[in-house]
A and B are shown apart, each in its own frame.
Chain A
Amino acid sequence: MEWLDSFWSIYSTLVLSMGTNILLALSIYFTLSCGLLTVANAAFMGIGAYAAALLTLNAGAPFSLALLAGTLLPAAVALLLGPPTLRLSGVYLAMATLAFGEVVRITILNAEGLTGGALGLNGIEQLTHVGHVAGAVLVALFLSLRAAKSRLGRAFAAICQDETATELMGVHVRAYQLCAFTCGAALAGLAGALNAHFTFFISPNEYGFERGVEILAMGVLGGTGSPWGAVIGAVVITLLPELLRGLGYFRPLINGLILVIIILYSPKGLWDLLRGARRTAVATR
């Protein structure tokens, strides 16, 4: 088992961040799969991270309670934010959630007494183990795979295809969308809470526009046809920079170009590409 120890000492951070990225990608999968383009996931992640970190730092709360709060608080915010915001559609919704994200970031930045402002929170206890992340990923993946095959998933798919027709069929579209938005917020918050407890340090800039865009890229790159798409997108986006480590200075350059090329050749996402390849393989057999 020595190789496992040395592997772990080198790659544990990578594995843990891959896990939280999978949670984040699943969080945006929920909203994308029912046709909502929201980019507030980074903000929900931040709310979850700060809620959990403040609880363990200031109140000495147990980790489980911190994780619970980190999941529920963003979900509650989403429940409040959803009804007025989800009236918007398309890019307007994207921009409203983007503006909400900036408002959250700037609020954290300015609430210095509580959040440490731009300096962030330091010395968060490292409580997240690989088991926590793996467990969260497995539960989230299991639930979203089940949901995808259930009434809920079929309703999401129908809404994604044609909102008006679905509404006319008697499906309460707004309620399903609010459900997707809230579930996504809870998952993103959980990812934030877990993430905060293995990086020691959080600051508002980690939850800004760039992070939101990265989460969106994971969701779209993998494809929104199945929760597996989110997993693939998260794995690719986490691994790409690592695989290109030898390139030094120009690593982000190649990283960006690969993103462009993948989208050019598989605009519906990698999951679609893989499924397509499998189908062709079966057909030619």
Chain B
Amino acid sequence: MLAQQLVNALSLGGVYALFALGFTLIFGVLDVINLAHGAIFMLGAYAALQAVLLLKLPLPAAIVVAILVAALAGLLLDRFIFAPLRARNAPHLAPMIATIGLAISINSAVQGIFGAENLRFPVDALPAEAFQMGTIRVTLIELQIIFLSILLMVALLWGLKRTRVGVALRAIAESPKAAALLGIDVEKLFGVTAVIASILGGVAGVLIALYSNALFPTMGQPMLHKGIAVVILGGMGDIRGAMLGGLFLGFAEVFAVAYIGSTMRDAVAFGLLFAILLLRPQGLFGQAAQRRA
């Protein structure tokens, strides 16, 4: 029972972490609370579904389609919303309100095209295998979700640490002005960040759609709440914090449902968040000095 819950928690937490990574990356580098991240998450899921239904692609190829769609969404988001607002030197909240409008538009467009009802992947598109290890039953999908989320997280960490783009991004997160003085093309890297973050969000969307096999136009909304909770748990703009926070929330939720009751699921997440903010505003894993205004 306990081991079984651990597997559930790990796959759910992995998806939360992926989603929150994109959210925190945009906050850390662009200093924007991107409330359209949930809509891009949903777009990723729908793109994969349409790739399976219309183009008859196998699942891995469908995930690639989702990545392309999410990347395009991220590019357009930065190009047509964040960049003009930066150029106008807009006040802090303006981009956030713009992403609200964008999220409304994307959700309504998807609802207009595909309908408001729940959609699902056809049964034969999903791997049906499951492994029995003692008393634990793990489905192949769960394993793939865990594998893919860990792979992406490791890739992101490695990229931020070892690649030129990653180093530049970290420099921008510290101070965009100083980074620009050092010859970093800050504008271009803002765009790169939006693309990477959106890819993470889009893949998280596909994974949650595979996990629960239910897609609907507003599926990004509850995820956005959780993403915010995770990012606060880990400290705003903190990459490792987002990963640990995501896993933490996944565990907290799965165990709350298993041992307290399903009505308490969201109460646990937000009650915890509220308590942490009052006691440790820099996040569970942050250091006081890193706190951003």
Which A positions have Cβ atoms within 8 angstroms of B?
A: 37, 84-85, 87-92, 94-96, 98-100, 102-103, 106-107, 109-110, 209-210, 213, 216-217, 220-221, 249-260, 263-264, 267-268
Contact = CB atoms under 8 A, between A and B. Distances in A.
Which of A37, A89, A91, A254 has the largest number of chain B CB atoms within 10 A? Answer: A91
Interface in B188-242: 221, 224-225, 228-229, 231-232, 236
A267 B102 contact: no
Nearest to B272: A99
A37 B225 CA distance: 17
Given A220-B97, A263-B95, 7 more contacts: A90-B293, A91-B292, A106-B267, A216-B97, A249-B108, A253-B109, A255-B108
Contacts of A258: 101
A264 B85 contact: yes
Interface residues of B, number: 47
12 contacts: A91-B236, A99-B277, A102-B266, A106-B266, A213-B100, A220-B93, A220-B97, A253-B112, A256-B103, A256-B106, A263-B97, A263-B98
A88 B273 CA distance: 14
Nearest to B229: A99
A263 B109 contact: no
Contacts of B85: 263-264, 267
B270 A99 contact: yes
Contact of A89 (B91, B101, B221, B293): B293
Interface string B124-135: 000000000000
A216 B99 CA distance: 13
B167 interface: no
B266 to A, nearest CB: 6
Interface in B262-293: 263, 266-267, 270-271, 273-274, 277-278, 281, 291-293
Nearest to B106: A256
Contacts of B98: 259-260, 263-264
A91 B292 CA distance: 9
A260 B108 contact: no
A107 B266 CA distance: 11
B154 interface: no
B94 A267 contact: yes
B107 interface: yes
A250 B263 CA distance: 34
B27 interface: yes
Contact of A250 (B88, B108, B277, B293): B108
Contacts of B111: 249
Contacts of A92: 232, 236, 277, 281, 291
B61 interface: no
Which of A106, A209, A213, A263 has the largest number of chain B CB atoms within 10 A? Answer: A263
A91 B33 contact: yes
A92 B281 CA distance: 7
Nearest to A262: B101
Contacts of B267: 103, 106-107, 110
Given A250-B112, A252-B104, A263-B101, A87 B281 contact: yes
A4 B27 CA distance: 50
A252 to B, nearest CB: 4
A250 B270 contact: no
Contacts of B108: 249-253, 255-256
Contact of B277 (A88, A90, A267): A88
A259 B100 contact: yes
Interface string B70-93: 000000000001001100101101
A245 to B, nearest CB: 14
B102 to A, nearest CB: 6
Given A220-B97, A256-B108, A96 B274 contact: yes
Interface string B107-145: 111011000000000000000000000000000000000
B126 to A, nearest CB: 31
A92 B103 CA distance: 22
Given A91-B27, A103-B271, A253-B108, A220 B94 contact: yes
Nearest to B232: A95
Nearest to B109: A253
Given A92-B232, A92-B236, A268 B270 contact: no
A257 B270 contact: no
Contacts of B271: 103
B225 A102 contact: yes
